[in-house]
Amino acid sequence: MLFSELSRYFEQLEGTASRLKMTEILAEVFKAASAEEIGEICYLSLGRLVPHYESLEFNLADKMVMRAVAEAVGKDKEQVLKEYKKIGDLGLVAEKLKIDNGPHFAKASRGKKLTVLDVYGKLKGIAEDGGQGSQERKVHGLAELFKGVDAVGAKYVARMVVGRLRLGFSVMTIIDALSWMKKGDKSLRGELEQAYYVRADIGALAREVKRTPLRQGFVGQVKPELGVPIMPALCQRLKTADEMIAKMGKVAVEPKFDGTRVTIHIGKNLLRTFTRNLEETTHMFPELLEAHKEVKAESVILDSEAVGVDPKTGKLMSFQETIIRKRKHMIAEASLRVPLKFFVFDVLYVDGRSLLDKPQRERREILKKILQPKKVFELAEEIVTDDPKVLRKYHHQKLQEGLEGAVVKKIDGEYIPGRRGWNWVKFKEEETAAGGLSDTLDCVVMGYYRGKGKRTGFGLGAFLVGVRKGDQFLTIAKIGTGLSDAQWRELKTRITNYESRIMPKQYTVHKSLVPDVWVEPNLVVEIAADNLTNSPNHSAKLALRFPRLVRFRDDKNPGQVTSVEEVGMIH
């Protein structure tokens, strides 16, 4: 497929807000693509070059991309900057200048038409270039690529490089489109989503779907692969201990730690760790370099919670203290200040054998046999009960110990990646004030309001947050109080790189709540509130009463924020 063809499809996708229409357009793209290029098309359509768990960034600031545009169109970089200040979108700037300077490209346009794989290869080469002089080589290489693609292609290349593709869909829409490509509807979504959750590489999944005749069926054959993340199992919500026992029967109950979720892959000459949003974090955990010595297996995938331990008292630390370990620099210093203990509570794979379909009690027995805790690992404690009173007592005991309560697991349940079924339920609060919320919400920051008075010094005076409905985000609260000065400053620092002049396509916002500045869906925050009320203005049709920021959730991505359906369970 020519890159110019893919760019025209991208224009169609950008031009529609209909989820169904996006699915149909993507399905058309996938039908036209070959098995050799469909994986790369999936990555490019998400503004990436590699699967989500791989880290490959262009590391080119906006000004460097402007230099590349200037070099490509034969203009001074100040002229490009002037256009950018006027338009506010580097992609549109690149497109406009290519159109305005068409004669400059007459000679280049006589050459070979670039295919998707040509452009993908050039982009990947630019991203992988490092070392002395790499910035100049990146700028020159990008300029050559701008020369080789048409105006529409230049728009999307520029947006990919600066990380703002703005097509407005996620991996789930691609999964729908793969089903549509095969069957003309979304009937395969459940199977394909399951396969993606087991081996979270959308490009590899697309190649497999493209190559496999429908009658063969491959989804049930997808097994965990060492070094490739599995989507962690997540907890549903039930309000009371009685409800949990009635719905789940006999359960295994474990502490709910206030740490960061870590899935650990250990093999011969291999160690990789992943967060709950599939980000690789291996370099952040030097403690695990000797982890293989605490495991009696050649290869294993463990599910755990990493919690900071006070080096003086030995007590577990809070999430805010633990999360400082999630950094890219000064890791050795951070590991001395906040040493970690990994509380292991499940095993998903041992010596080439998947354990996902094994019941919880069997996985627990295997875990006890292979785990040999010494310094880094600790087997999470567990009780087994079918008595609501015992469950409630254990929950309150954990709260008194400073933990977040209990996690309740169906004892004969399989390990189900993602938040599906009622195998795992979190138990945080049971008795709340009348009308109060039994849990916090994870929300995405959608925009902010500049504010007046003292707040102008922070750069914002209130912010808008939303919950998820499929790939869309619906507003549920405008928050202007309850933050410390430090939190206001941190919030502004965090969202600066995600500001947008236009409303992201995934948002539904009532005109009375339109913010002064839109924010791309990237930052997740944990919000507490006194209760919920019906709202004619918020697009979730509900509003949080007295909302307040609890903390920033760096361990979660926008696809993991609280859904509209879950909001009803919290109330």
Whether 552 maps to a domain, the answer reads: yes
Question: Which structural domain, as residue segments, surrounds residue 456?
Answer: 441-570
Q: In this structure, are 508 and 422 located in the same domain?
A: no
Whether 337 maps to a domain, the answer reads: yes
Among 8, 4, 16, 6, CA closest to 173: 16
The mean pLDDT value for 395-419 works out to 92
Across-strand partners of 253? Answer: 383, 408
The mean pLDDT value for 25-46 works out to 97
Task: Kindly report the backbone phi and psi dihedral angles of residue 464, in degrees, each rounded to the nearest multiple of 5, phi listed first.
Answer: -105, 130
Distance CA 31, CA 182 (A): 9
Q: In this structure, are 278 and 136 located in the same domain?
A: no
Distance CA 399, CA 405 (A): 5
Angle of CA points 472, 477, 478, to nearest 5°: 115
Q: In this structure, are 244 and 379 located in the same domain?
A: yes
The mean pLDDT value for 38-63 works out to 93
Whether 410 and 251 have beta carbons less than 8 Å apart is answered as yes
Task: Kindly report the backbone phi and psi dihedral angles of residue 12, in degrees, each rounded to the nearest multiple of 5, phi listed first.
Answer: -60, -45
Q: pLDDT by residue (tens digit) across 532-568?
A: 899 999 999 999 998 999 989 888 888 889 999 888 7
Q: Is the dihedral of CA 77, 80, 85, 89 positive or negative?
A: negative
Query: Is pLDDT above 60 for 268?
Result: yes
Q: pLDDT by residue (tens digit) across 211-224?
A: 887 655 555 678 89
Whether 184 maps to a domain, the answer reads: no
In this structure, the strands spanning 377-379 and 340-350 are: parallel
Least confident of 383-397, 410-424, 431-445: 431-445
Q: In this structure, are 316 and 417 located in the same domain?
A: yes
Mean confidence (pLDDT) of the chain:
89
Q: Give the CATH number, domain containing residue 531.
A: 2.40.50.140
Q: In this structure, are 349 and 400 located in the same domain?
A: yes
Whether 21 maps to a domain, the answer reads: no
Has 268 been annotated as catalytic? no
Q: Give the CATH number, domain containing residue 397.
A: 3.30.470.30
Query: Is pLDDT above 50 for 435?
Result: no
Query: Is pLDDT above 70 for 110?
Result: no
**Active-site entry in 256, 341, 358, 428:** 256
When pLDDT is cut at 50, 70 and 90, the band that residue 434 belongs to is: very low
Q: In this structure, are 95 and 127 located in the same domain?
A: yes
Task: Kindly report the backbone phi and psi dihedral angles of residue 97, in degrees, each rounded to the nearest multiple of 5, phi listed first.
Answer: -70, -30
Q: Which is more confident, 216 or 201?
A: 201
Q: Considering 427, 452, 472, which residue would you say is the last residue of a domain? A: 427
Look at the chain and report how many structural domains it folds into: 3
Q: pLDDT by residue (tens digit) across 132-175?
A: 989 999 999 999 999 999 999 999 999 999 988 889 888 999 99
Could you identify the residue written with the tokens 């990008």?
Answer: 142
Q: In this structure, are 417 and 279 located in the same domain?
A: yes
Q: Considering 162, 184, 219, which residue would you say is the last residue of a domain? A: 162
Q: In this structure, are 546 and 405 located in the same domain?
A: no
Q: In this structure, are 281 and 399 located in the same domain?
A: yes
**Count of helix runs (H) and strand runs (E) in the chain:** 19, 21
Q: Which is more confident, 513 or 100?
A: 513
Could you identify the residue written with the tokens 């950008």?
Answer: 14
Tokens, residue 299: 């290869």
Whether 26 maps to a domain, the answer reads: no
Q: In this structure, are 417 and 447 located in the same domain?
A: no
Whether 393 maps to a domain, the answer reads: yes
Q: In this structure, are 371 and 272 located in the same domain?
A: yes
Tokens, residue 499: 């500001």
Percentage of residues in the chain with pLDDT exceeding 70?
Answer: 91
Q: Considering 162, 197, 213, which residue would you say is the last residue of a domain? A: 162
Tokens, residue 95: 């497109």
Q: What is the pTM of this model?
A: 0.84
Percentage of residues in the chain with pLDDT exceeding 90?
Answer: 61
How confident is the model at residue 220, as a pLDDT? 60
Q: Which is more confident, 570 or 209?
A: 209
Q: Which is more confident, 100 or 13?
A: 13
Tokens, residue 432: 């709340």
Distance CA 116, CA 44 (A): 9
Whether 508 maps to a domain, the answer reads: yes
Whether 247 maps to a domain, the answer reads: yes
Could you identify the residue written with the tokens 């740490």?
Answer: 259
Q: Give the CATH number, domain containing residue 129.
A: 1.10.3260.10
SS3 assignment for 45-74: HCCCCCCCCCCCCCCCCHHHHHHHHHHHHC
CA 389, distance to chain mean position in Å, is 37
Q: In this structure, are 421 and 325 located in the same domain?
A: yes
Q: pLDDT by residue (tens digit) across 380-401?
A: 999 999 999 999 999 999 999 9
CA-CA-CA-CA dihedral for 275, 276, 278, 284, to nearest 10: -10
